[in-house]
Amino acid sequence: MQQSDVLRQSLMDTVREACLIILLSLVAALAVNLARTDSIPFIQNWSIEERLSQDNGDSLAIPLSEAETLFKENKAIFLDARGQELFDEGHIKGARNLPWHAVDDYFSEIIKDMDRETPVITYCDGESCNLSHDLAVFLKNMGFTHVKILVNGWTVWVENNLPIEATDK
């Protein structure tokens, strides 16, 4: 058998075996998902509206205009769910940093002067950023009654030239 034949044979084996592994995986994945009680739909709507709608049909999202009004009237606390480094680089003026990835470390300190009835607006950055959503759900579970999410908050806030600040070091 020539070297080129060996290589060709090996490549054919690679493709055939890889296809078999993928095919087996496909069958196993679909069969197990059909059989299990906590199955997920094969195709799901991942739009922002769908992800932020609550069981009662209300949306967790707050329009920028409403967030801006609450900001100007100083009636809401803005919570930045991003990491501290990004928060220090720039954030909504007066916002507090409650990084979702370290929420247990910061939570008590951040909320110590907050009433559970205080309107809270969480935000992060990016249309699909999930940190603010996870933080909002966490806060609701912790008893906060007026929690909203400003979707893509940092970007829309900056694009609309609303007040921002950086952390002095």
Partner 1 sequence: MNSFYRFFYHLTRLILGAVFIYASLDKILHPGAFAQAVFNYQVLPGQLVNLTALILPWVELILGACLLSNRWMTGAAGLAAVLMTVFIGLILFNLARGLNISCGCFSTNPEEGPMDKLTLLRDALFLVLAFCLVGLTYYKKSNYHKNQLYTV
Residues that bind partner 1 (CB under 8 A): 1, 3, 5-7, 9-10, 13-22, 24-26, 28-30, 32-33, 38-47, 82-83, 86, 100-101, 103-104, 124, 126, 128-131, 134
Scanning the structure block, which residue is given the tokens 């922002």? 48
**DSSP classification of residue 53:** B
Instruction: Name which of 15 and 142 has its Cβ closer to partner 1.
Output: 15
Least distance from C-beta 134 to partner 1, angstroms?
6
Neighbours of 125 (CB within 10 A): 18
Q: Are 127 and 151 in contact (CB under 8 A)?
A: yes
Instruction: Name which of 58 and 85 has its Cβ closer to partner 1.
Output: 85
Least distance from C-beta 74 to partner 1, angstroms?
28
Which structure tokens are listed for 73? 């009237």
Report the C-alpha gap between 119 and 141 in whole angstroms.
Answer: 15
Least distance from C-beta 168 to partner 1, angstroms?
22
Instruction: Name which of 39 and 167 has its Cβ closer to partner 1.
Output: 39
Instruction: Name which of 20 and 145 has its Cβ closer to partner 1.
Output: 20
Least distance from C-beta 122 to partner 1, angstroms?
14
Least distance from C-beta 65 to partner 1, angstroms?
26
Beta bridge partners of 135: none
Which value, to the nearest 10 degrees, does the dihedral of the CA atoms of residues 76, 77, 80, 84 take? 160
Instruction: Name which of 120 and 129 has its Cβ closer to partner 1.
Output: 129
SS3 content of the chain, % helix, strand, coil (to 5): 50, 10, 40
